[in-house]
Amino acid sequence: MSVEQPEYTLLEKEGAFELRQYKPMIIAETFVDGSLSEASSAGFRRVAGYIFGGNVSQKGMVPEKIAMTAPVIVEKQPGKMPPGTENSAQRWRLNFVMPAGLPLDSLPVPNDSRVSLREIAGHKTAVMVFTGFADEVKVEQKIRSLLNWIAAHGLLAVTAPQLARYNPPWTLPFLRRNEILINIS
């Protein structure tokens, strides 16, 4: 893969399951309502707009381009949707990890107020890697499998599951890399 990915140390690997120690990172994130597919599309456009120049540089009013990274991460948010929203709608957080070595105070300010930047401390994560399309049914199956693996290894999940997608939409299904990520203690 030709784009930067978050840095981590592989602690354990067992088939499709991994235990990783991630280094601290900075993310650009947004919240979107809708189905997984709708939120992924709308959230991607919003955060991609930020990295492709929808921002104001710290050094002046000039937009600054930021290198694309992988994966694009989507996380279902807890709680109910507002009244009048479709039953299938849900709130999602979508984020990109910013390139390593860029301090938070050096990153440009997003033009879109729905995009924010946040620093994440280093963390230990249980991961399940899989290929193909990542629709809501398949994602829920993979989440259950990862939660079972976490429990079988005496670990404790401390965050909601996240879906990480590494490939552009035109990638053939059998070549796609997807992951379910759950931080553990």
Predicted pLDDT of residue 117: 98
pLDDT digits (tens, 9 = 90+) for 158-174: 999 999 999 998 999 99
Write the CB contacts of 68 (distance below 8 Å, at least 6 apart in sequence).
3, 48, 51, 96
Q: For the chain, what is the mean pLDDT?
A: 93
Predicted pLDDT of residue 58: 84
Does the pLDDT value for residue 26 go beyond 60?
yes
Predicted pLDDT of residue 5: 96
Residue bearing tokens 């592989």: 10
CATH of 8-183 among 3.20.80.10, 3.30.1280.10, 3.40.109.10, 3.40.50.1820 = 3.20.80.10
Helices (H) and strands (E) in the chain, counts: 2, 11
Cβ–Cβ under 8 Å, residues 51 and 66: yes
Predicted pLDDT of residue 12: 97
Token pair belonging to 108 = 């440009």
pLDDT digits (tens, 9 = 90+) for 57-113: 988 788 999 999 999 999 999 876 555 555 557 999 999 999 999 999 999 999 999
Predicted pLDDT of residue 83: 59
Phi-psi region of 34 (alpha: psi -120 to 50; beta: other; left: phi over 0): left
Write the CB contacts of 147 (distance below 8 Å, at least 6 apart in sequence).
157, 161, 182
Burial 91-117 (b: 16+ CB within 10 A, else e): bbbbbbbbbeeeeeeebbebeeeebeb
Q: Which of 85, 97, 101, 119 is nearest to 50 (CA)?
A: 97
pLDDT digits (tens, 9 = 90+) for 129-139: 999 999 999 99
Domain boundaries of the chain, sorted by first residue: 8-183
Alpha helices (H) in 7-95, listed in sequence order: 36-51
